[in-house]
Amino acid sequence: MGLFSKKQVQPKEYSQIIDSILPNPRKELAKSPYDSKLGLNMARDARKVLSGQMKIADFHKVYSSSLTKEFGKYYAAGEEQQKKNNGKGPKWVMVIDLQKCVGCDTCTVSCKAENRTPPGISYNVVMEQMSGDFPNVSLVNLPRPCMQCDQPPCVQVCPTRATYKLDNGIVAIDNDRCIGCRYCIVACPYGARSYDFGDSYEEMLGYNDVTSPEYGVDRGERKKGKTPVGTIRKCSFCFHRLERGEEPACVETCIGDARFFGDINDPNSTVSKLAASPRAFRLKEELGTEPSVIYLR
């Protein structure tokens, strides 16, 4: 949104804001006990598959041997399975109106409270960027949950098939299968994934006693060596709340009413109508990830 200037920010500029928060791939994989070069190459080629430069069958042919050698019994061979509901079930989509976002970070706080994320991990972040010279200054707020991509590169590079796509459009993680290799972190072009190191909020009494349900599974006390510690975590559109018929915490608490959530398969839904607006765009559409988070500029 503009602070003083009424300059229209272009979708490409919003994508550049995302680029500024992406982790350094080499530094990220240096923390992993697994082959860094393999992870980097898979992330690169996963983008090629999305852009049509490489066939998915060739991708698996190239990496099958290396994955078997590196991950052994953990490696789940074969192409990822993505269920399609053929329009018969809900396809969850979030629409964020950037003209209404005031940058209050309520979504970030409510998300942390709902999902009890550890220090350093926020599923929902709001990035700010100031541009121009006074008095022609503009301030841009860009909220970023997980994009829940229809063509997710994170799913493609996961050697254990711990990351997969639900038929309702949500990209989920089976934390019991996840080995924390971090390949999905460097493959995600939106910086939406984090590794759980097991850190705690020492000043918050009872923080470790109960964890948020990870994709609908109540895991109880949080401690070293127990899932989700040592695995990858990310926004799930508050899947456990959807199961109860509720909206994601960030949508429910947004003080500017900037977030909308619903079934895009329903032509009468608010999100369907907003997605058809000339103001609508998606981040990094040129990659072919087909995000389920739609922005209005």
Spatial contact of 234 and 194, defined as CB atoms under 8 Å apart: yes
In this prediction, residue 9 carries a pLDDT of: 80
What are the pLDDT digits (tens) for 198-228? 999 989 888 999 888 888 888 889 999 999 9
pLDDT, the chain, mean: 92
In this prediction, residue 56 carries a pLDDT of: 93
Task: Count up the domains in the chain and report the number.
Answer: 1
Q: Write the CATH number for 199.
A: 3.30.70.20
In a domain, 228, yes or no: yes
User: In the β-sheet with 92-97, what is the strand arrangement from edge to edge?
Assistant: 259-263, 92-97, 293-296, 280-281
In this prediction, residue 85 carries a pLDDT of: 53
Give residue 262's domain range: 11-76+88-296
In a domain, 22, yes or no: yes
In a domain, 239, yes or no: yes
What are the pLDDT digits (tens) for 247-268? 999 999 999 999 999 999 999 9
In a domain, 112, yes or no: yes
In a domain, 3, yes or no: no
In a domain, 283, yes or no: yes
pTM of this structure: 0.92
In a domain, 2, yes or no: no
Which residues pair with residue 142 across a beta bridge? Answer: 127
In a domain, 81, yes or no: no
